[in-house]
Amino acid sequence: MRGVSDQDAYLARVERLAAEIRSLPADQPVRLRKKTSNLFRTRQPSKATGLDVTDLDGVISIDDEALTADVQGMTTYEHLLDATLAHGLAPLVVPQLKTITLGGAVTGLGIESTSFRSGLPHESVLEMDVLTATGEVVTARPEGEHSALFYGFPNSYGSLGYATRLRIELERVHPYVRLRHLRFRSAEELFAAMTEVCASQEHEGTPVHFVDGTAFSGQELYLTLGTWADELEPGEEPSDYTGMGVYYRSVQQRDRDVLTARDYYWRWDTDWFWCSRAFGAQNPRIRAFWPKRWLRSDAYWKLIALENRFKVVERIDRRRGKPEQERVIQDVEVPIEHAAEFHAWFEREIGIAPVWACPLRQRDASRTYDLYAFDQDTTYVNFGFWSTVDLAPGETDGTHNRRIEERVAELSGRKSLYSTAFYAEDEFWAIYGGDAYARLKKEYDPAGRLPDLYAKAVRRA
């Protein structure tokens, strides 16, 4: 756990980075150099100078009365949550994977089961220091000189600058989260129930503080409702899914459960949702000997990186005559009234299962975040699917991903940009706030030192 960081130490780190940028030629490209990433798109080789930001990991201060925290931009949610839970507090939205950073979740978006009531992580930001491509550090707030940057920073993926400090809102937590897994036989029934729960924030008279869903097929879907609890009932023991137990399997196996608050927040990280099965980590005979410290998402990331580098599995599959595979790793958001329609299409045409379904709604309808603007009066469903799909003879890489992009657009949705994207440039900017982005780019990166958003998301710069 990272302790509380000293404000003076933070300022010294930021000044070092700013001076490093200012010392470079005006047209020298720059980018971050860091140990972890949760992006699923490869980058083209770059001559950019790498800025070492690894020491910007730590909480600067926590205000128990104001329910706020000042946090350095490279602080992982694992370190942030450890620091806030010690005060009985947590961020309003805690993305599922421990190594996602606060700055990354704001500039690249994030979501979790509190998003139906608290929106996305950037909506709980009160102000942030942004290191721009010119070597200037500006403080962006909802009002004032840099308010346009404040509203344009989410979904900019570091193409407008880097958040070095963020002041965020916190909420009080309870020791336990009690869960109910409700089974449905159709997507129509699931999303009808999800709509009702999100609107009322209760189910059968019980308050609901967390909502997400898991679809194993079109006939087996679960709505998971979480409620804060202060104490355990007689004979009740919190479940532990950090060892032999696998959380997503418990959704099918039991209709009620209880977890500690910490274990609830990280319930998906141990097995990277269900993706650890690709490494054999869910096989009991293997799991019994798998070091517990490696049952976490960043360990699987390292295995993915090795495969990307050496392509051992790909070569074996090719020798066995298996079809070429396309990675289909996406999070897309569709208005909830179209969610059942999208799920039916996705199951029929793409065929990946399970699928995660998490509702979200903008927390403050009066605000517009220019690069990822929602209809403020609409509840959306985030569908997360992470696997591979066979390519038929004649199909090229991107075939299935592009079909998903087109279908999502037809249903008035959009997708997150942490993975591969295939949009034409004019289509991309029409979806992701092109006019507002151009104005911000001109002001905060006039020399074009940072790749623009299209170059990063589609051209993989």
pLDDT tens, per residue, the chain with 461 residues: 344 458 899 999 999 999 999 999 988 999 887 766 777 777 777 778 888 898 999 999 999 999 999 999 999 999 999 999 999 999 999 999 999 999 999 999 999 999 999 999 999 999 999 999 999 999 999 999 999 999 999 999 999 999 999 999 999 999 999 999 999 999 999 999 999 999 999 999 999 999 999 999 999 999 999 999 999 999 999 999 999 999 999 999 999 999 999 999 999 999 999 999 999 999 999 999 999 999 999 999 999 988 888 887 788 788 888 899 999 999 999 999 999 999 999 999 999 999 999 999 999 999 999 999 999 999 999 999 999 999 999 999 999 999 999 999 999 999 999 999 999 999 999 999 999 999 999 999 999 999 999 999 999 88
Which backbone phi and psi does 197 adopt, to 5 degrees? -65, -40
For the domain covering 7-173, report its CATH number: 3.30.465.10
pLDDT of residue 71: 97
- The CA–CA distances, whole Å, from 17 to 57, 100, 103, 136, 447 equal 14, 21, 16, 10, 18
SS3 390: strand
Q: Which amino acid is at 23?
A: S
Q: What share of the chain is helix, strand, coil (3-state, %, to 5)?
A: 35, 25, 40
In a 10 Å sphere around its CB, with 0-12 CB exposed, 13-18 middle and 19+ buried, how is residue 235 labelled?
exposed
Q: What is the pLDDT of residues 183-240, one digit of tens each?
A: 999 999 999 999 999 999 999 999 999 999 999 999 999 999 999 999 999 999 999 9
Q: What is the pLDDT of residues 330-339, one digit of tens each?
A: 999 999 999 9
